[in-house]
Structure 1
Amino acid sequence: MGAAFLAGGLLTATPAVAANLLTNPGFEAGSLSGWSCSGGTGSVVTSPVRAGSGALAGAATASDNARCAQTVTVRPSTAYALTAWVRGNYVHLGVNGGAATWTPSASAYTKLTVSFTTGASQTSAQVYLHGWYGQGTYHADDVSLDGPGGGNDTQAPTVPGNPRVTGVSATSVSLAWNAASDNVGVTGYDVIREGGTTTSVTGTTATVTGLSPDTRYIFTVRAKDAAGNTSPVSIAVVATTAQGGGGGDRFIQAAPYLYLGWGNPPSATEVMRSTGVRWYTMAFILAQNGCNPAWDSQRPLLGGIDQSTIQAIRAAGGDVVPSIGGWSGNKLGPNCATPEALAGAYQKVIDAYDLNAIDVDIENTDEFENAAVQDRVLTALKIVKQNNPGLKTILTFPTYISGPSSWGNRLIERAHALGADIDNFTIMPFNFDGHADMYAATVTSTVALKDKLRSVFGWSDAEAYAHVGISGMNGSSDVGEITTAQTWTRIRDWANANDLGRLAFWSVNRDGPNWEFTRITAGFTG
């Protein structure tokens, strides 16, 4: 696999098209620039966001509905579309003196849309968002007023500079480029895949997904401004995706857990910028109404905060692996009656996000200590791996200090007997006796896992370690064991020295505000 530049990309101008006319539409400036909010009720927050690094928070009170507005120049007798993603109670979106819409309750980001046509002599329009009196804070993100600009701005942005490939997998390519400039302001970029789709982003990075393994692709980038002017396309950049399964490429992943269903989760992209981490293990996908996957058994795969967070992570050059299962909750393994049904549930998750990897966190008596469910999980993973070339599969399970339990040994032995072709066996070396030396305990249990894999699969030490992962717990474990940042650094360095395949910890939610463990984990190179 590799990447190279193709000099002499297309340099012809592109006609102006409709574009977002709003300033700071995704609040990525980190301020309310372009917006005016009543009574000082508006602010920009980093969580919860739909995409990017910021979102609007409107603190509605008993006497103020937290109205935030922006006025733009428009053309007379012209159709426009106004959209926004909102969450909260009684959130309104509209045009001053014109059309409006609202939602009574949105627990996750929900899209509102308003269409309107300007008057015969109208040259400006004020768009607004507001909550309702006494209903508390609402959030809004990615507001768009789509249509032709009304001013005299006919100057296109400059060409984005230095397009480059920053990463490839079997099914995706990550790109970055230098920002373009504009006489008024650049509002976004289009990444154009030759002969394929266009990916639109607001920043200077993007991850294009849905690609085929071991395939050559050509990309160009163009900038756009609020008036609908677009730059010439950049020089082209060429990338070749990684080989799929069986290609011999090592699977290496530094992926701390991020749990959007717990407390006040941090901004994934803010943590990425602060620490350099690129992968997240997203928790937890459980069963809803039988054999149907949903986040925490409640939130749908598409259309909510989970999907928007994944999109933001990928736009920032990262990726995710969903964690299916866990210690508690209603799990897919016991609820799906056959391996084929369970594979179908896994496939829904894979298709929803065009995944490169999935993790099944198999714990407790309902899955881990259940022979029938163990075999069902392994067979289902074998099916989805056969149906999705290049997909990587992970099993995460508990351990003793001495190594896998009898149930852990069975899981490994059955993975071999069933030909499940698992890419990584990740143990959770914590919750031992409450007084463990966490470095020594982690190393001892991991070496024992390596020895078991070597014995069962006939691998060398190096081959076995390449299939081993560690998922620790930062700070205090459930039984009071303490893993300090210094200890976690020693564990990471030992994992690097032995070329392990994966490093994770529970969790980024518990790591703020300095993200010390996340930063250490980002230094895992396998």
Structure 2
Amino acid sequence: MRRLLTLAVAASASMATAIGLAPQAMAAVDPVLASPYLYQWGGQTSPTAAMSATGVKAFTLAFVLSDGGCNPKWDGSRSLTGSDKTMIQNIRNAGGDVIPSFGGWSGTKLGSKCTSASALAGAYQKVIDAYGLKAIDLDIENTDEFENNTVQDRILNAVKLTKQKNPNLRVVITIGTETTGPNTWGKRLINQAKAIGANVDVWSVMPFDFSSGGDMAAHTKSAVDGLKNQLKTTFGWSDDTAYRHSGLSSMNGKTDNAGETVTVANFTTIRSYATSHHLARFTFWATNRDCSGGGECSGISQSKYAFTKIVAGYTG
């Protein structure tokens, strides 16, 4: 996602209590299904305000990056035990949950800085352990991770190791897309996941920045259908199974490309499409900019939190 302006029950209960959440509340929320992105460098950064206003229960927190080596830090600079941990505790105390996102478009990525799959898996594990996570999102973008065979394979092998150590952890991989589905790099990543046995739970595409404008609801449907077809071909799944392993992460309002806009009506149509196919993930970038007008908002006329409310209504 682009920066804008750019295991036993007792053990699980103990972990949940240690990080400030009643186990029953934590168990009730799916952090993957309907969790809009939230970042901490601008715009509307209060998750609990959004939860109160919309009913949304989970957020995808952007981004875990490299500190310059193979150590994870929020945006490459903030400790795992600082303000972000407090924010996660606040979300969980309000009855919600989180899925941290590793990577993104810019910044120094763990996938490129960690020199082995085992080291990268170790970096993932630090974040998993810090927050007692149920899921992680790997947002694989740009030439340093997505368009790099070595790094693609390193990430997938790290996923395999991480899933072996955390069998109940769900892993989402998020990638860019063309209007027809994953490009050559995306197809390679999916095929390599099968070959390596990475056991990715959800494949999610970002159906925007097409440089073409037009009907963004139609483009989104076509892109996700293309993802479904690739998963079906690679894994031998039925249409229904492939859709249930697919997801999408849109962008509210004006995207990074001039002339390309996802309207509230578009996003409502996209949710209906997601519901009809029981997609595993329906989200967008980002709650921070889910407000009317320019600057740090969506660039369109909309009510506050309009897109977050649509996500909150998604039940799969």
TM-score range, shorter chain: 0.7 to 0.9
Rg larger in 1 or in 2? 1
Q: CA offsets, 1:440-479, max 9 Å, x none?
A: 1000010010011001101111110011010000000100
| Residue 402, structure 1, aligned to residue 192, structure 2 | no
Unaligned segments of structure 2, at least 5 residues = 1-7, 292-302
CA distance in 1, matches of 2:146, 2:246: 18
- Tell me, in whole angstroms, the C-alpha distance in 2 between the residues paired with 1:199 and 1:340: 29
User: Which residue among 146, 152, 163 is the counterpart of 1:385?
Assistant: 163
What letter matches 1:417 in structure 2? A
Counterpart of 2:261 in structure 1: which amino acid?
I
Distance verdict in 2 for CA 1:466–1:252, change over 3 Å:
farther
Structure 2: how far apart are the matches of 1:511 and 1:423? Answer: 28
Instruction: Find the counterpart in structure 2 of residue 352 from structure 1.
Output: 130
The one of 60, 69, 74 equivalent to 1:290 is 69
Structure 1 counterpart of 2:57, which letter? R
Answer yes or no: is the 8 Å Cα contact 1:171–1:356 preserved in 2.
no
How far apart, in 2, do the equivalents of 1:300 and 1:468 lie?
Answer: 32
Q: Quick check: 1:342 aligned with 2:120?
A: yes
Match of 1:518 among 299, 303, 308: 308
Q: Matches of residues 81-100 of structure 1 in structure 2 within 5 Å?
A: none
* Structure 1 residues 372 and 523, CA gap change in structure 2 (3 angstroms): same
Rounded Cα–Cα distance in structure 2 between residues aligned with 1:522 and 1:474: 14
Measured in 2, the distance between the counterparts of 1:384 and 1:283 equals 20
1:501 maps to 280
Q: Secondary structure of the residue that 2:21 maps to in structure 1? A: strand
| Structure 1 residues 438 and 393: CA distance shift in structure 2, 3 A | same
C-alpha distance in 2 between matches for 1:376 and 1:451:
25
Residue pairs, 1:142-181, within 5 angstroms: none
The C-alpha deviation readout for 1:371-404, integer Å capped at 9, x for no partner, is 0100000010111111012100010000000111
Report the alpha carbon displacement of residue 252 of structure 1 after superposing the two structures with TM: 5.4
Call closer, same or farther: CA 1:344–1:496 in 2, change over 3 Å. Answer: same
What is the SS of the residue equivalent to 1:281? strand
Equivalent position SS for 1:470: strand
Specify whether residues 340 and 486 from structure 1 end up closer, same or farther in structure 2 by C-alpha distance, changes over 3 A only. Answer: same
Aligned counterparts of 2:22 and 2:249: Cα–Cα separation in 1 = 28
Kindly indicate whether the alpha-carbon contact (under 8 Å) linking 1:325 and 1:360 is maintained by their aligned counterparts in 2. Answer: yes
1:200-215 to 2 correspondence within 5 Å? Answer: 207-209=21-23
Distance 2:16 2:174 in 1: 36
SS class of match (1:253): coil
Q: Are residues 240 and 315 of structure 1, via their aligned partners in 2, closer, same or farther at CA, if it must alter by over 3 Å?
A: closer
Contact 2:32/2:135 (<8 A) preserved? no
Q: From the two aligned structures, give the one with the greater strand fraction.
A: 1
Counterpart in 2 of 1:369?
A: 147
Give, in angstroms, the shift of residue 289 of structure 1: 3.0
Residues 356/197 of structure 1: CA separation in 2 closer, same or farther (3 Å cut): closer
Question: Cα distance, 1:251 vs. partner?
Answer: 8.7
Q: How does 1:456-471 map to 2 (within 5 A)?
A: 456-471=234-249
Shift of residue 524, structure 1, vs aligned partner: 1.0
The letter of the residue matching 1:284 is F
Decide whether aligned partners of structure 1 residues 339 and 475 sit closer, same or farther in structure 2, where only a CA change above 3 A counts. same
Indicate the structure with greater helix content.
Answer: 2
Query: 2: distance between equivalents of 1:254 and 1:361?
Result: 16
The one of 78, 81, 93 equivalent to 1:315 is 93
> How far is 1:343 from its partner?
0.3
Q: CA RMSD in A?
A: 2.4
Three-state SS of the structure 1 residue aligned to 2:270 is helix
Structure 1 outlier segments of 4+, above 3 Å? 196-201, 239-242
Q: Give the aligned residue type for 1:207.
A: L
- Rate the CA distance shift 1:454–1:171 in 2: closer, same or farther, 3 A: farther
> Partners of 1:241 and 1:403 in 2: how far apart?
33
- Percent identical residues: 51
Asked if the contact 2:31–2:97 (Cα under 8 Å) also holds between the matched residues in 1, the reply is no
Tell me how far 1:437 sits from its aligned partner. 1.1
1:445 aligned partner: 223
- How many angstroms apart in 1 are the aligned matches of 2:127 and 2:168? 16
Match of 1:421 among 193, 196, 199: 199
SS at match of 1:402: coil
CA offsets 1:245-298 (integer angstroms, 9 cap, x no match)? xxxxx99510100001x1244321111111111110000111003101001111
Structure 1 residues 271 and 338: alpha-carbon distance in aligned structure 2, compared to 1, 3 A threshold: same
Alignment partners' CA distance in 1, 2:186 and 2:161: 21
Are the aligned partners of 1:251 and 1:501 in contact in 2 as well (CA < 8 Å)? no
Q: 1:255 to 1:241 in 2, by over 3 A?
A: closer
Corresponding residue pairs, total: 294
Distance change (3 Å), C-alpha of 1:199 and 1:420 = closer
> Aligned partners of 1:240 and 1:295: how far apart in 2?
22
Structure with the greater relative contact order (CA < 8 A, sep ≥ 6): 1 or 2? 2
